[in-house]
Structure 1
């Protein structure tokens, strides 16, 4: 299956991408891909080091005639988001990604593809291996754990890197040049609740919501896609008086819009008709509201053989549903400085209710630190009103745009020369590592670009084949055009 991928153009990228995707590389479990990358660098006879947190740095001297150019750092992250469809059997810890060609796109079978940021990694590998590509002195920086906390970038100490210019290869539109990004913070709320015996005459029901698009909680938040946790709460909120909640599981990753949610409830026999009517009413409303955006959304409820023994008590249940109804999800503020840019947002990424404990996990993003704090405190206020203990963790800074950046001018002019039109110079609402790296390397000139990738952080992730060729041609011209020292 992956052989078809290896025959795509440019072969140098797709072959390296296939090699990389054969190596399991979950965030926080990057041991195998770190070893893979170190072995790659050492086999090429290049200086290869691993820093104390697991980032891999490979250095390659300038090619003949390019010694007088500024040294560059090409940077991508080694880890990938792991998401799969509920009916897909796949073990991310042991299996390589199964890819296939679908017209002009490369996809994976029921899982995320890993093009984010695997195509960037493959690009750098191809340049390191080549003995014909013209380039200045080069440092390849492969960071770890970008997707679940950016701990690789945070742990990279000042003084290790020697380059003057950083090329981040983690932008997902081939006509876009990235000059800024959002910062983020994880907001979590937790509390215990009282459990009581389910009514003796109760019937157990399982409510299942699935088929949402999901996607990147930064880049896709502006689309108004369905959030599985918020939509499930609408169903439960409507049926609050006719059911007792036993268990709830929704979402899986902090930076992915939740695609699925499942609840187990106990329904007293005398309230069963009300429960069915209430669920059906809200189900119809939700499906109708999202019919243009979420065509594969399904909401079902069915009787289960085993009635839950313990359920949440009524007072705590009402409080929990009110918390979830109040907590903001989606765009919070648009940027007044950059047209069509989301400034601040929140994604209610994961919700669990079981065995007397509930937890709500969110990722708040903003390109403005004060607005990020305001959004986080808005959530905190709602959660604390419901008796939750709230924690702020994993904060990372944004990357402030520098429209006078010398490397921006190089890429902007090159793109226009190559394609006869201007590139879209923009900041993004995703969290790139540039903001963090800039803290320890404040004088570094940074830019971000990449091939077109759609559906990142979801099993619909796909990489555009013609775009990858366009991007590769752009990379080669950039390397030739790095300014002199």
Structure 2
């Protein structure tokens, strides 16, 4: 038990504390799912899991609401596992350690999992409450959203009975989301050719301390991408000398987070030139990344390796990382101040004789990534590598005239004292996939303010959670 259990609304925070106590990163959320299933059975609630592990719980309507149509609440079970380099945390065995910091709840050196743990906790708290009025209720908890929406992709048809759904995966107080971007993975591979080491010096260079964040919601903020910055550094080094070779290179950890850290080990002929380039690169970071005030470059001497990447491979990787498109590609022509199309490289790894990377492409419109996919394919082909596309999921097309949206706007305005904003998010909510399987669903997405999701700086605003809970319970009572 942590201090957050004393916060209000009590049942929501108690459930969130319980969620934090059970490890549930993507692909490892089964223990949490089974805990919830067993709890639901102990409460004599209907509960089932479908073929891909999604959980569906049903609760009868409260007194006087039996004749109203049922409503579904939806959240995902998994969280993004990100930790600071100096934090010793095993996401498969160690609980998340939430703590109160002023008006915020954050974690200790790791992601908090408020995305989407707060939404999940709110749904479970309503199932667990006797004093919240609601019609017949369905709670749908999906598997592996953060790593490719696999639960939503495999959701059982003809399972849900509701035609109205409240998605709980929005991260801004005072906003109602009615649309989102679709996405697709691009998996890059490049062959590595090696040679015996011929250089007298070896150094490990770490780019660290970047802000990172959500590769959709934060892509427009111009935060540094540590992997792309490796390309900037290598290009700068190659401008003064070609007498160096890569020994190892890696960065990032998940496809949907802007990488905060990246690392390269280099064998080099002239250590003085390396030092000069590093110092100039530090100045570039300081001046060019105002959103990353804590960015740093750390250099440490290493023992000489037996072999390195050969010079042509080193040159190819330098060019590839420098030329790789990244960030915002287009803004929407129909929704003001919303990113339409973007991409972000999230993971880079040296695996045996292959350099591998994963990019997440996003777009609000069908075919919006066609041009950048063509550019990626040509770039990899020219570099002697390959790119494979997978895991496509559709966007959620806005519908601005549904009854659930009208009611949500009305109640939110009463709570806030002003009109809420109706928005489309440049991130992947499951709503588009769910509507593909259940086309008659009317959906809105709401949630409390969460900052820096997908990074160890993730935090959720305590007063916003109370506002969200007030809206959610009023919605259920008035549907």
Q: Shift of the alpha carbon at 1:273?
A: 2.0
3-state SS of the aligned residue for 1:371?
coil
Q: Pick the aligned partner of 2:416 from 395, 416, 419.
A: 419
Residues 1:213 and 2:217 aligned together:
no
- Aligned residue runs from structure 1 range 80-479, under 5 A: 80-199=79-198, 201-240=199-238, 241-268=242-269, 271-290=270-289, 292-304=290-302, 306-353=303-350, 355-479=352-476
Q: Shift of the alpha carbon at 1:375?
A: 2.2
TM-score (norm: length of structure 2): 0.98
The answer on whether the counterparts of 1:242 and 1:274 sit within 8 Å (CA) in structure 2 is: no
Shift of the 354–28 alpha-carbon distance from structure 1 to 2, 3 Å rule, reads: closer
Residues 67-124 of structure 1 show CA distances to partners (whole Å, capped at 9, x for unaligned) of: 2222111000010000000000111111111111000000100000010000011101
Residues 225-273 of structure 1 show CA distances to partners (whole Å, capped at 9, x for unaligned) of: 00000111111122231421110011010000000011111012xx222
3-state SS of the aligned residue for 1:480?
helix
Residues 121-179 of structure 1 show CA distances to partners (whole Å, capped at 9, x for unaligned) of: 11011110111210011100010100001000010122010001010000000111000
Residues 1:13 and 2:12 aligned together:
yes
Question: Hey, what's the Cα distance between the residues in 1 that align with 2:409 and 2:183?
Answer: 28
Shift of the 279–355 alpha-carbon distance from structure 1 to 2, 3 Å rule, reads: farther
Shift of the 326–136 alpha-carbon distance from structure 1 to 2, 3 Å rule, reads: same
3-state SS of the aligned residue for 2:81?
coil
The answer on whether the counterparts of 1:344 and 1:375 sit within 8 Å (CA) in structure 2 is: no
- Cα RMSD (Å): 1.1
Question: Hey, what's the Cα distance between the residues in 2 that align with 1:70 and 1:148?
Answer: 33
3-state SS of the aligned residue for 2:297?
strand
Deviates more, 1:105-114 or 1:378-387: 378-387
Unmatched segments (≥5 aa) in structure 1:
none
Question: Hey, what's the Cα distance between the residues in 2 that align with 1:157 and 1:3?
Answer: 36
What residue in structure 1 maps to residue 59 of structure 2? 60
Question: Hey, what's the Cα distance between the residues in 2 that align with 1:253 and 1:339?
Answer: 29
Question: Hey, what's the Cα distance between the residues in 2 that align with 1:308 and 1:280?
Answer: 25
Q: Shift of the alpha carbon at 1:53?
A: 0.4
Question: Hey, what's the Cα distance between the residues in 1 that align with 2:277 and 2:210?
Answer: 22
The answer on whether the counterparts of 1:452 and 1:464 sit within 8 Å (CA) in structure 2 is: yes
The answer on whether the counterparts of 2:278 and 2:297 sit within 8 Å (CA) in structure 1 is: no
Unmatched segments (≥5 aa) in structure 2:
none
- Count of residue pairs the alignment pairs up: 476
Deviates more, 1:43-52 or 1:351-360: 351-360
The answer on whether the counterparts of 2:244 and 2:311 sit within 8 Å (CA) in structure 1 is: no
TM-score (norm: length of structure 1): 0.96
Q: Shift of the alpha carbon at 1:355?
A: 3.8
Question: Hey, what's the Cα distance between the residues in 1 that align with 2:291 and 2:417?
Answer: 34
Question: Hey, what's the Cα distance between the residues in 1 that align with 2:234 and 2:92?
Answer: 34
The answer on whether the counterparts of 2:2 and 2:98 sit within 8 Å (CA) in structure 1 is: no
Shift of the 237–353 alpha-carbon distance from structure 1 to 2, 3 Å rule, reads: farther
The answer on whether the counterparts of 1:248 and 1:354 sit within 8 Å (CA) in structure 2 is: no
Question: Hey, what's the Cα distance between the residues in 1 that align with 2:144 and 2:80?
Answer: 10
Q: Shift of the alpha carbon at 1:55?
A: 0.4
Question: Hey, what's the Cα distance between the residues in 2 that align with 1:273 and 1:419?
Answer: 60
Runs of 4+ with deviation above 6 angstroms: none
Deviates more, 1:329-338 or 1:311-320: 311-320
The answer on whether the counterparts of 1:243 and 1:275 sit within 8 Å (CA) in structure 2 is: no
Q: Shift of the alpha carbon at 1:356?
A: 2.7
Q: Shift of the alpha carbon at 1:354?
A: 5.1
3-state SS of the aligned residue for 2:166?
strand
